[in-house]
Protein backbone atom coordinates (compact mmCIF):
# COMPACT_ATOMS: atom_id res chain seq x y z
CA UNK A 1 0.00 0.00 0.00
CA UNK A 2 1.05 3.64 -0.48
CA UNK A 3 1.90 5.59 2.67
CA UNK A 4 3.81 8.73 3.67
CA UNK A 5 6.38 7.75 6.25
CA UNK A 6 9.90 8.14 7.67
CA UNK A 7 12.43 5.45 8.63
CA UNK A 8 13.96 7.59 11.43
CA UNK A 9 13.02 10.69 13.43
CA UNK A 10 13.69 14.02 11.66
CA UNK A 11 14.02 12.36 8.26
CA UNK A 12 12.13 14.08 5.40
CA UNK A 13 8.81 12.22 4.98
CA UNK A 14 8.30 10.51 1.61
CA UNK A 15 5.85 8.34 -0.27
CA UNK A 16 6.66 4.63 0.28
CA UNK A 17 5.23 1.25 -0.63
CA UNK A 18 4.61 -0.66 2.60
CA UNK A 19 2.89 -3.96 3.39
CA UNK A 20 -0.81 -3.64 4.16
CA UNK A 21 -1.21 -4.04 7.97
CA UNK A 22 -3.26 -6.85 9.51
CA UNK A 23 -5.84 -6.28 12.26
CA UNK A 24 -4.75 -7.95 15.51
CA UNK A 25 -6.99 -8.83 18.47
CA UNK A 26 -9.34 -5.94 19.27
CA UNK A 27 -8.23 -4.01 16.18
CA UNK A 28 -9.85 -2.71 13.00
CA UNK A 29 -8.27 -2.67 9.55
CA UNK A 30 -9.45 0.59 8.03
CA UNK A 31 -9.37 1.61 4.36
CA UNK A 32 -8.60 5.32 4.71
CA UNK A 33 -10.62 7.63 2.45
CA UNK A 34 -9.48 10.99 3.86
CA UNK A 35 -6.82 12.09 6.37
CA UNK A 36 -6.92 15.49 8.10
CA UNK A 37 -3.53 17.19 8.51
CA UNK A 38 -2.38 18.89 11.74
CA UNK A 39 0.90 20.58 12.78
CA UNK A 40 1.13 17.81 15.39
CA UNK A 41 1.80 15.30 12.57
CA UNK A 42 5.10 16.98 11.71
CA UNK A 43 6.03 17.13 15.41
CA UNK A 44 5.46 13.35 15.78
CA UNK A 45 7.88 12.70 12.89
CA UNK A 46 10.43 14.81 14.76
CA UNK A 47 10.06 12.64 17.88
CA UNK A 48 7.80 14.73 20.15
CA UNK A 49 6.30 11.47 21.52
CA UNK A 50 9.62 9.64 21.73
CA UNK A 51 9.07 8.54 25.32
CA UNK A 52 6.41 6.21 23.89
CA UNK A 53 7.24 3.09 21.81
CA UNK A 54 7.32 3.74 18.04
CA UNK A 55 7.13 1.49 14.99
CA UNK A 56 9.25 2.26 11.90
CA UNK A 57 8.68 2.98 9.09
CA UNK A 58 6.66 5.58 10.99
CA UNK A 59 3.57 6.45 8.97
CA UNK A 60 2.47 10.07 9.50
CA UNK A 61 -0.96 11.30 10.55
CA UNK A 62 -3.45 10.86 13.37
CA UNK A 63 -6.82 12.07 12.01
CA UNK A 64 -8.84 10.22 9.39
CA UNK A 65 -12.09 8.93 8.01
CA UNK A 66 -12.45 5.56 6.34
CA UNK A 67 -14.29 2.30 6.04
CA UNK A 68 -13.74 -0.73 8.28
CA UNK A 69 -12.30 -3.35 5.91
CA UNK A 70 -11.82 -6.19 8.40
CA UNK A 71 -11.95 -6.72 12.16
CA UNK A 72 -9.59 -8.67 14.39
CA UNK A 73 -10.66 -11.26 16.99
CA UNK A 74 -12.75 -9.87 19.86
CA UNK A 75 -13.92 -6.65 18.16
CA UNK A 76 -17.38 -5.69 19.40
CA UNK A 77 -18.15 -2.08 18.48
CA UNK A 78 -17.64 -2.17 14.69
CA UNK A 79 -18.30 -4.34 11.63
CA UNK A 80 -16.76 -4.41 8.14
CA UNK A 81 -18.40 -1.69 6.05
CA UNK A 82 -18.84 0.81 8.93
CA UNK A 83 -17.81 4.38 8.06
CA UNK A 84 -15.66 5.66 10.92
CA UNK A 85 -13.65 8.78 11.80
CA UNK A 86 -11.57 10.04 14.69
CA UNK A 87 -8.12 10.43 16.15
CA UNK A 88 -6.32 7.15 15.44
CA UNK A 89 -3.24 7.84 17.61
CA UNK A 90 -2.23 4.87 19.75
CA UNK A 91 0.86 3.04 20.97
CA UNK A 92 3.11 1.92 19.35
CA UNK A 93 3.11 5.24 17.49
CA UNK A 94 3.57 4.86 13.76
CA UNK A 95 0.51 3.19 12.29
CA UNK A 96 -0.58 6.56 10.97
CA UNK A 97 -3.34 7.76 8.68
CA UNK A 98 -1.41 9.10 5.67
CA UNK A 99 -1.83 5.68 4.09
CA UNK A 100 -4.26 3.60 2.09
CA UNK A 101 -4.82 1.33 5.10
CA UNK A 102 -4.17 1.50 8.82
CA UNK A 103 -5.01 -0.55 11.87
CA UNK A 104 -6.43 0.91 15.07
CA UNK A 105 -7.65 -0.58 18.37
CA UNK A 106 -11.44 -0.28 18.41
CA UNK A 107 -11.30 1.35 21.85
CA UNK A 108 -9.32 4.48 20.87
CA UNK A 109 -11.04 7.70 19.79
CA UNK A 110 -12.89 6.45 16.70
CA UNK A 111 -16.65 6.60 16.10
CA UNK A 112 -19.19 6.07 13.30
CA UNK A 113 -19.54 8.99 10.90
CA UNK A 114 -22.99 10.53 11.32
CA UNK A 115 -25.27 10.53 8.25
CA UNK A 116 -24.91 13.70 6.22
CA UNK A 117 -21.23 14.24 7.03
CA UNK A 118 -18.79 13.61 4.15
CA UNK A 119 -15.57 11.68 4.70
CA UNK A 120 -13.53 14.81 3.93
CA UNK A 121 -15.39 16.88 6.52
CA UNK A 122 -15.26 14.06 9.07
CA UNK A 123 -11.49 13.68 8.61
CA UNK A 124 -11.00 17.42 9.22
CA UNK A 125 -12.72 17.42 12.61
CA UNK A 126 -10.89 15.27 15.18
CA UNK A 127 -7.78 17.03 16.56
CA UNK A 128 -8.57 20.64 15.62
CA UNK A 129 -12.31 20.37 16.26
CA UNK A 130 -11.93 18.71 19.67
CA UNK A 131 -9.25 21.25 20.67
CA UNK A 132 -11.41 24.21 19.60
CA UNK A 133 -14.46 22.83 21.40
CA UNK A 134 -12.51 22.06 24.57
CA UNK A 135 -11.02 25.58 24.58
CA UNK A 136 -14.40 27.28 24.11
CA UNK A 137 -15.83 25.22 26.98
CA UNK A 138 -12.90 26.03 29.28
CA UNK A 139 -13.18 29.71 28.39
CA UNK A 140 -16.96 29.55 29.02
CA UNK A 141 -17.64 31.21 25.66
CA UNK A 142 -21.34 31.99 25.35
CA UNK A 143 -23.76 34.48 23.86
CA UNK A 144 -22.50 37.51 25.75
CA UNK A 145 -18.76 36.82 25.37
CA UNK A 146 -16.24 38.84 23.46
CA UNK A 147 -13.43 36.49 22.39
CA UNK A 148 -10.14 37.22 20.62
CA UNK A 149 -8.59 34.30 18.71
CA UNK A 150 -4.89 34.69 17.84
CA UNK A 151 -3.80 32.55 14.88
CA UNK A 152 -7.48 32.33 13.93
CA UNK A 153 -6.94 31.36 10.30
CA UNK A 154 -5.44 27.92 10.97
CA UNK A 155 -6.95 24.52 11.66
CA UNK A 156 -8.20 25.14 15.21
CA UNK A 157 -9.41 28.60 14.23
CA UNK A 158 -11.45 27.04 11.42
CA UNK A 159 -13.58 25.46 14.16
CA UNK A 160 -13.23 27.97 17.02
CA UNK A 161 -14.32 31.01 14.96
CA UNK A 162 -17.58 29.54 13.60
CA UNK A 163 -18.47 27.69 16.83
CA UNK A 164 -17.95 30.80 19.00
CA UNK A 165 -19.85 32.96 16.53
CA UNK A 166 -22.71 30.44 16.40
CA UNK A 167 -22.87 30.52 20.21
CA UNK A 168 -23.52 34.26 19.86
CA UNK A 169 -20.08 35.49 20.94
CA UNK A 170 -18.42 38.53 19.36
CA UNK A 171 -15.27 37.15 17.69
CA UNK A 172 -12.11 39.15 17.07
CA UNK A 173 -9.98 37.23 14.56
CA UNK A 174 -6.26 37.97 14.84
CA UNK A 175 -4.42 36.62 11.78
CA UNK A 176 -2.42 37.57 8.72
CA UNK A 177 -4.25 40.18 6.64
CA UNK A 178 -4.59 37.82 3.68
CA UNK A 179 -6.90 35.61 5.74
CA UNK A 180 -9.43 38.41 6.36
CA UNK A 181 -12.08 37.36 3.88
CA UNK A 182 -11.98 33.73 5.04
CA UNK A 183 -12.28 34.79 8.69
CA UNK A 184 -15.31 36.96 7.90
CA UNK A 185 -16.90 33.98 6.11
CA UNK A 186 -16.17 31.78 9.13
CA UNK A 187 -17.99 34.30 11.33
CA UNK A 188 -15.40 36.75 12.73
CA UNK A 189 -16.87 40.17 13.55
CA UNK A 190 -13.62 42.14 13.90
CA UNK A 191 -10.20 41.55 12.32
CA UNK A 192 -6.70 42.42 13.45
CA UNK A 193 -3.41 41.92 11.63
CA UNK A 194 -1.30 39.57 13.76
CA UNK A 195 1.86 40.86 12.04
CA UNK A 196 1.21 44.44 13.20
CA UNK A 197 3.07 45.28 16.43
CA UNK A 198 0.09 47.42 17.46
CA UNK A 199 -2.71 44.84 17.27
CA UNK A 200 -3.05 44.50 21.06
CA UNK A 201 -3.42 48.29 21.45
CA UNK A 202 -5.91 48.35 18.55
CA UNK A 203 -8.12 45.76 20.32
CA UNK A 204 -7.79 47.71 23.60
CA UNK A 205 -8.91 50.84 21.77
CA UNK A 206 -12.05 49.06 20.55
CA UNK A 207 -12.70 47.37 23.91
CA UNK A 208 -11.45 49.77 26.63
CA UNK A 209 -13.28 47.86 29.39
CA UNK A 210 -11.53 44.63 28.40
CA UNK A 211 -12.63 41.46 26.65
CA UNK A 212 -13.95 38.27 28.26
CA UNK A 213 -11.81 35.61 26.66
CA UNK A 214 -8.66 34.98 24.64
CA UNK A 215 -7.75 31.85 22.68
CA UNK A 216 -4.13 31.99 21.57
CA UNK A 217 -3.01 29.36 19.06
CA UNK A 218 0.48 30.60 18.22
CA UNK A 219 2.12 33.16 20.56
CA UNK A 220 5.19 32.51 22.67
CA UNK A 221 5.24 33.34 26.40
CA UNK A 222 5.89 37.05 25.91
CA UNK A 223 3.21 37.37 23.22
CA UNK A 224 0.64 35.45 25.26
CA UNK A 225 1.36 37.55 28.36
CA UNK A 226 0.83 40.73 26.31
CA UNK A 227 -2.44 39.43 24.86
CA UNK A 228 -3.68 38.51 28.37
CA UNK A 229 -3.59 42.25 29.25
CA UNK A 230 -6.68 42.62 26.99
CA UNK A 231 -8.82 40.68 29.47
CA UNK A 232 -10.94 42.42 32.06
CA UNK A 233 -10.60 41.22 35.68
CA UNK A 234 -12.21 37.77 35.82
CA UNK A 235 -11.42 37.15 32.14
CA UNK A 236 -9.88 33.89 30.92
CA UNK A 237 -7.12 33.20 28.41
CA UNK A 238 -6.07 29.86 26.89
CA UNK A 239 -2.96 28.77 25.01
CA UNK A 240 -2.59 25.62 22.91
CA UNK A 241 1.21 26.05 22.62
CA UNK A 242 2.09 25.87 26.31
CA UNK A 243 2.85 29.61 26.56
CA UNK A 244 1.26 30.23 29.97
CA UNK A 245 3.67 31.66 32.53
CA UNK A 246 2.26 32.32 36.02
CA UNK A 247 4.96 34.96 36.62
CA UNK A 248 3.68 37.00 33.65
CA UNK A 249 -0.08 36.46 34.06
CA UNK A 250 -1.76 39.79 34.90
CA UNK A 251 -3.51 39.83 38.30
CA UNK A 252 -7.21 38.99 38.27
CA UNK A 253 -7.20 36.96 35.06
CA UNK A 254 -6.93 33.20 34.58
CA UNK A 255 -4.56 31.59 32.08
CA UNK A 256 -5.20 27.98 31.12
CA UNK A 257 -3.21 25.54 29.00
CA UNK A 258 -5.19 23.38 26.61
CA UNK A 259 -3.79 19.85 26.59
CA UNK A 260 -6.19 17.83 24.48
CA UNK A 261 -7.44 14.58 25.97
CA UNK A 262 -9.18 13.08 22.93
CA UNK A 263 -12.21 10.87 23.43
CA UNK A 264 -15.15 9.56 21.47
CA UNK A 265 -17.44 11.61 23.72
CA UNK A 266 -15.59 14.86 22.93
CA UNK A 267 -15.50 14.02 19.20
CA UNK A 268 -19.25 13.38 19.19
CA UNK A 269 -19.94 16.58 21.18
CA UNK A 270 -18.10 18.84 18.74
CA UNK A 271 -19.62 17.07 15.73
CA UNK A 272 -23.11 17.44 17.23
CA UNK A 273 -22.57 21.15 17.96
CA UNK A 274 -21.44 21.76 14.37
CA UNK A 275 -24.57 19.98 13.11
CA UNK A 276 -26.88 21.80 15.57
CA UNK A 277 -25.68 25.15 14.19
CA UNK A 278 -25.78 23.84 10.57
CA UNK A 279 -22.06 24.61 10.22
CA UNK A 280 -20.15 23.19 7.26
CA UNK A 281 -16.68 22.02 8.27
CA UNK A 282 -14.29 24.54 6.69
CA UNK A 283 -11.83 22.52 4.60
CA UNK A 284 -9.50 24.94 2.84
CA UNK A 285 -7.94 22.45 0.43
CA UNK A 286 -7.78 18.77 -0.45
CA UNK A 287 -4.60 17.17 -1.78
CA UNK A 288 -3.56 13.72 -3.04
CA UNK A 289 -1.31 11.57 -0.82
CA UNK A 290 1.82 12.29 -2.87
CA UNK A 291 1.57 16.00 -1.99
CA UNK A 292 1.51 15.35 1.78
CA UNK A 293 5.32 15.65 2.27
CA UNK A 294 5.26 19.15 0.77
CA UNK A 295 2.20 20.14 2.85
CA UNK A 296 3.94 18.88 6.01
CA UNK A 297 6.94 21.09 5.22
CA UNK A 298 4.61 24.10 4.87
CA UNK A 299 3.07 23.30 8.26
CA UNK A 300 6.49 23.07 9.88
CA UNK A 301 7.27 26.50 8.47
CA UNK A 302 4.09 27.89 10.13
CA UNK A 303 2.25 28.36 6.82
CA UNK A 304 -0.85 26.23 6.77
CA UNK A 305 -3.80 28.53 5.97
CA UNK A 306 -6.78 26.59 7.22
CA UNK A 307 -7.53 22.92 7.20
CA UNK A 308 -5.92 20.59 4.65
CA UNK A 309 -7.30 17.10 4.03
CA UNK A 310 -5.52 14.32 2.10
CA UNK A 311 -7.92 12.43 -0.15
CA UNK A 312 -7.04 8.82 -0.89
N1 LIG B 1 -2.05 21.59 23.30
C2 LIG B 1 -2.83 20.82 22.57
O3 LIG B 1 -3.51 19.89 23.06
C4 LIG B 1 -2.92 21.08 21.10
C5 LIG B 1 -3.91 20.47 20.32
C6 LIG B 1 -3.97 20.78 18.97
C7 LIG B 1 -3.04 21.67 18.42
N8 LIG B 1 -2.09 22.23 19.20
C9 LIG B 1 -1.13 23.20 18.66
O10 LIG B 1 -1.82 24.45 18.49
C11 LIG B 1 -1.22 25.18 17.42
C12 LIG B 1 -2.30 25.63 16.45
O13 LIG B 1 -2.89 24.49 15.82
P14 LIG B 1 -3.61 24.62 14.40
O15 LIG B 1 -4.05 23.27 14.02
O16 LIG B 1 -4.59 25.73 14.43
O17 LIG B 1 -2.33 25.05 13.54
P18 LIG B 1 -2.26 25.74 12.10
O19 LIG B 1 -3.33 25.20 11.24
O20 LIG B 1 -0.85 25.64 11.65
O21 LIG B 1 -2.63 27.25 12.42
C22 LIG B 1 -1.76 28.09 13.12
C23 LIG B 1 -2.15 29.54 12.87
O24 LIG B 1 -1.14 30.40 13.37
C25 LIG B 1 -0.66 31.24 12.33
N26 LIG B 1 0.76 31.45 12.50
C27 LIG B 1 1.70 30.56 12.91
N28 LIG B 1 2.91 31.14 12.96
C29 LIG B 1 2.73 32.42 12.56
C30 LIG B 1 3.58 33.53 12.43
N31 LIG B 1 4.89 33.44 12.70
N32 LIG B 1 3.06 34.72 12.02
C33 LIG B 1 1.75 34.82 11.75
N34 LIG B 1 0.87 33.79 11.85
C35 LIG B 1 1.35 32.61 12.26
C36 LIG B 1 -0.98 30.51 11.05
O37 LIG B 1 -1.10 31.46 10.01
P38 LIG B 1 -1.25 31.03 8.46
O39 LIG B 1 -2.57 30.34 8.33
O40 LIG B 1 -1.22 32.33 7.74
O41 LIG B 1 -0.10 30.14 8.18
C42 LIG B 1 -2.31 29.86 11.41
O43 LIG B 1 -3.35 30.80 11.27
C44 LIG B 1 -0.18 24.24 16.78
O45 LIG B 1 1.10 24.55 17.27
C46 LIG B 1 -0.60 22.87 17.28
O47 LIG B 1 0.47 21.95 17.30
C48 LIG B 1 -2.00 21.95 20.52
Mean pLDDT for 10-34 is 98
Query: What separation in Å is there between the alpha carbon of 300 and the centre of ligand 1?
Result: 10
Calculate the average pLDDT of the chain: 97
Mean pLDDT for 26-38 is 98
C-alpha 203/C-alpha 257 separation (Å) is: 23
Compute the residue count for the chain.
312
Q: Which of 133, 217, 306, 307 is the pocket-test mutation for ligand 1 (most atoms within 8 Å of CB)?
A: 217
* Residue list, ligand 1 pocket, CB within 6 Å: 38-40, 127-128, 131, 151, 153-157, 175-176, 179, 194, 217-218, 240-241, 258-260, 299, 302-305
- List pLDDT tens digits, range 87-143: 999 999 999 999 999 999 999 999 999 999 999 999 999 999 999 999 999 999 999
Q: What is the pLDDT of residue 304?
A: 73
Ligand 1 closest atom vs CA 40: 47
Q: Domains of the chain by range and CATH?
A: 2-125+282-311 (3.90.180.10), 127-257 (3.40.50.720)
Q: Does residue 228 register a pLDDT over 90?
A: yes
Pick from 266, 270, 289, 288: which is nearest to 279 by CA?
270
- List pLDDT tens digits, range 143-202: 999 999 999 999 999 999 999 999 999 999 999 999 999 999 999 999 999 999 999 999
pLDDT band of residue 303 (cuts 50, 70, 90) is confident
Cβ–Cβ < 8 Å for 161, 228: no
Mean pLDDT for 209-220 is 98
- List pLDDT tens digits, range 236-283: 999 999 999 999 999 999 999 999 999 999 999 999 999 999 999 999
C-alpha 2/C-alpha 15 separation (Å) is: 7
Amino acid sequence: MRAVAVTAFREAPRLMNLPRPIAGPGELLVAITAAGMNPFDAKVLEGILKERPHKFPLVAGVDAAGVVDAVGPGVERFRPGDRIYGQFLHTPVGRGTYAEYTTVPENVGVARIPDGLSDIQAAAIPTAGMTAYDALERLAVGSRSTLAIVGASGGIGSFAVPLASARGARVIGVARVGAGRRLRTLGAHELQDVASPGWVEAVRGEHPDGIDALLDLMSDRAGFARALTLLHPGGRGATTVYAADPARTPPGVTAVTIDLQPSVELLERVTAELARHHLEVAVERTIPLERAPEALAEMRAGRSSGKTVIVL
